[in-house]
Structure 1
């Protein structure tokens, strides 16, 4: 983005794309006038899809970090939320930096925080819509191995490109990656995306790889799919971060541990669901 301007509206303080200064000059009034369609509605955050004359945008309002947990966990999360810098502003800055490096992601419009005399602060993040299908939806719709493998290869190259440009995604799963018509990858949900750490870069990169592979649709969690992804990722990373045989072995072990853990969680959810259904009978 060519320029970013400071933003103030009532108690909101943050940064904004200059083109949106006038339309969003009174943020509270704008939010009342543009409720949009709720995409996510939780106690900790809401996400709305809003159609405007300037295109479709998403409005994310974060009320607190933690959705649920023990009293101590909620208190600790609340204190962390109170004193930490604005997550919305950090997301604006990281996505702006990604776009500058040629990495596809939602174009940020506004990020601001409002602190209250009583209660927790609130963050708002507004960005443009990425009108492309997610990799998860494409993989679910893939009706043959050739279509599946093409998506997997694009994902590997896209994630490698993200890493090569110096970024680590905070939640690198198929539902948060989109495929553009030119076959490039766009990265959504960048709340926890961050610059590549100065130390242990290879470890950070491969953690993202494990994160992605472990969340592939269950029918695609196969050794040949994993091997295809890893080989394409290794090739695309060769110049910036060569991946050796020992690295591949570590990835395979970590992936199997992650898959086992996720399988245990699914089994536990099924047991709880079965008990709940039996108790209603």
Structure 2
């Protein structure tokens, strides 16, 4: 599996039962998982995964560890699946490298490693990425208080997500909390565990799903729901298709968004704003 990835600035990574790839220059800092996985502050601590932020000697990083499932049947099923597909950590590494090569923005991967052991039915993954020195998109929205600021941010999101799609990618969880934005309104895509290349089959539906994911979580952060049209207009600004085709797709988007908002209302137990 490692032979499929050829990057001059990457080295083969091995430590105990862990295998994978490490960015050249980081091999000593990231040598011992049992050590650096305990450093820094906890960001997420769940039964299936943990995320820690660590101010390492070489720079700030995020360390994500995915644990083996609980229960024998779940461990057996996951282990069997992992024998039939590339390790998740290496898939994330590949897609991040592809995003960067395509001129898109995301955290630079520093380590991708996996620990698959038959005798323990272990299926653990480890991913380390450089921290981006920019605020989350969701945080910027919450801190904004002027209509012009909201419009600028939403337009940047529409253009950024459109660029992602035009470059042939789909985000796995396209939420305002999974993006950063810099001073020039460039968008950075985080949490690329399920980010993938667009396939011809189902590409339209996948793109619309990203728009719905983003819109359903952004609407509650806006002072007026009509501001969401800034995002939609920016996304379709460079669309070269006939106006009738675009209009039909936008109608489909609004239908999907309404269904998603209804689902979220049931999950959250409260009313959510609608696109007007």
Match of 1:118 in 2: 120
Contact 2:76 2:121 in 1 (8 A): no
Superposed displacement of residue 108, structure 1? 0.2
Match of 1:259 in 2: 261
Superposed displacement of residue 243, structure 1? 5.9
Q: Secondary structure at the match of 1:181?
A: coil
Superposed displacement of residue 17, structure 1? 1.3
Superposed displacement of residue 4, structure 1? 2.9
Contact 1:134 1:176 in 2 (8 A): yes
Superposed displacement of residue 185, structure 1? 0.3
Match of 2:26 in 1: 20
Match of 2:233 in 1: 231
Separation (CA, whole Å) in 1 of partners of 2:68 and 2:177: 23
The 5 A counterparts of 1:139-158 are 139-158=141-160
**Residues 137, 171 of structure 1: alpha-carbon distance in 2 compared, 3 angstrom cutoff:** same
Separation (CA, whole Å) in 2 of partners of 1:16 and 1:262: 39
Separation (CA, whole Å) in 1 of partners of 2:134 and 2:221: 23
Superposed displacement of residue 220, structure 1? 2.3
Contact 1:108 1:126 in 2 (8 A): yes
Superposed displacement of residue 65, structure 1? 6.1
Superposed displacement of residue 265, structure 1? 1.5
Superposed displacement of residue 244, structure 1? 0.9
Q: TM-score, normalised by structure 1?
A: 0.84
Contact 2:175 2:213 in 1 (8 A): yes
Superposed displacement of residue 30, structure 1? 4.1
Match of 1:104 in 2: 105
Superposed displacement of residue 119, structure 1? 3.8
3, 11, 22: which one aligns with 1:5: 11
Calculate the aligned-residue CA RMSD, in Å. 2.5
Separation (CA, whole Å) in 1 of partners of 2:239 and 2:205: 13
Q: Secondary structure at the match of 1:192?
A: coil
Q: Secondary structure at the match of 1:171?
A: coil
Deviations for 1:91-126, whole angstroms, at most 9, x for unmatched residues? 111101111111111100010111232143211101
Superposed displacement of residue 31, structure 1? 2.3
Q: TM-score, normalised by structure 2?
A: 0.85
Q: Which runs of 5+ in 2 are unaligned?
A: 1-6, 271-276
Q: Which runs of 5+ in 1 are unaligned?
A: 269-281
Superposed displacement of residue 16, structure 1? 1.7
Separation (CA, whole Å) in 2 of partners of 1:14 and 1:196: 26
Contact 2:21 2:112 in 1 (8 A): yes
Separation (CA, whole Å) in 2 of partners of 1:258 and 1:17: 40
**Residues 105, 77 of structure 1: alpha-carbon distance in 2 compared, 3 angstrom cutoff:** farther
Contact 1:164 1:237 in 2 (8 A): no
